[in-house]
Structures are given as C-alpha cells and as structure tokens.
Amino acid sequence: MTLQDLAKSLHNCQRCKLAKMGRAQVVFGVGNPNASVMFVGEAPGFNEDQQGEPFVGAAGKLLNDLLQSAGLSRNDIYIANVIKCRPPNNRDPEPDEVEMCKPFLMQQIAMISPTLVCTLGNWATQTLLDRKVGITKVRGQAFYLKDFVLFPLLHPAAALHQGAMLEPLREDFKKLREFLDRQAKPVEPTGATPTEAPTLEIDQPQPAQMELF
C-alpha cells in the first residue's frame, strides 16, 4: 500500500462518530512523501476542513514562518494530524477518536519513514509518546523512540490564542534548528529529483537523553 492508497481508503471514512458531526471532508495530510522531517498536529480546524489540507489558516501561516526560521519549508516536510476529521467547534479529540485514527497516522509515519517527527502541542505529543505528559515539560527536547526521534513543539494555534506563547514557540523552533544543524548531513546535488528532501541522520543518543521519564 502507498500513501495515495491509504488516503483513498480514508476518503469517506465512517469509522468514528466524527463522520456524522459536521466534518466537510477527511484531511489526510500533505507534503513530501520522502521527507526526513514530519510534523504532526492535533486535528483539522475550520480552514483545514474546508480546504482538505493541514495548517492552511492563520496557524498555517505562522507555521510557515516558523519553518523558515528553522531552515525548513513545506517542500521539505510532510504534515499530518492525529485526527483526520475536524471535531465539532474545534473541541479536543476524544479518546475513542484518537484510538480509531492513530493507526492511520502510524501507517503514514511507517510509509514516509521520517528520521525526525515534530509533534505540535499536547495531543500529538501524548499520542506518539504514548503517555500523559504536558507539552511544557517536554517541548524543545529530542526523545529517541524505536523508529524515529520525537521532537515536541508548542502548537502554533496556542500562540495565536495567547500572545505570550509566541516567544516560547519561536524558542522551540530555534532549538529545532539547532538540533537539525547538529544532525544534518549534506545532500549530494547530483541526480536530485523534485521528490527528494534533505536527508537527516540522527546520532545515537547519550544515555541521559533516554532517562527523561
């Protein structure tokens, strides 16, 4: 199965109650299918639900600026959400919705095979760490999981709702850039194709980094 096949299989998904709670469409994900860096948010908002792409509203514009500050662009990365359908009134996802949708996120990650997964906000971070933990305690740190490195960040929408969060959010992306600068290896220009993204190799973690919990 390819990413495109998975997207088609979810096109009119009826697996959970969100299918009947006013969503316009399933928002699967978008970006470079060969990305070394993947971003995972919580769920689609109004604009995402209307346009069928993650992060296209005001939070998306802010994310684009933050990506640029970290030396990344939308062409380099893949973006998806834990939940593929917009919850009514942008409420938090409910446990049964996360349980139903998480396997499809994990399939996306397996197919793209990123080296680094950046989670935006509490829900994405808790879902991929598989434990209840506040984003403020883990933001801007690298967690070495079995198949990829997880790098939690504050959610751009949080900064739009609370202006005081903007500077900490920028700090998170500054830490991300520092992490990428330490880890990135140059890509040979020969034979590059439009679908190739910058490669990223992660050094083995120090023991202390495995003991953050």
pLDDT at position 208: 37
Which of 7-16, 177-186, 190-199 has the highest average model confidence (pLDDT)? 7-16
Residue 191 has pLDDT above 60, yes or no: no
pLDDT at position 186: 56
Residue with tokens 């949708």: 101
Residue with tokens 């070394």: 36
| Domain spanning 3-183, CATH class | alpha beta
pLDDT bracket for residue 45 (50, 70, 90): very high
Rounded CA separation 143/210 (Å): 7
The beta-strand segments (E) located in the chain are: 30-31, 37-41, 77-81, 116-120, 143-144, 149-153
* Domain range annotation of the chain: 3-183
pLDDT digit string, tens, across residues 115-150: 999 999 999 999 999 999 999 999 999 999 999 999
pLDDT bracket for residue 207 (50, 70, 90): very low
pLDDT bracket for residue 58 (50, 70, 90): very high
With vertex at residue 201, the alpha carbon angle to CA 195 and CA 147, rounded to the nearest 5 degrees, is 90
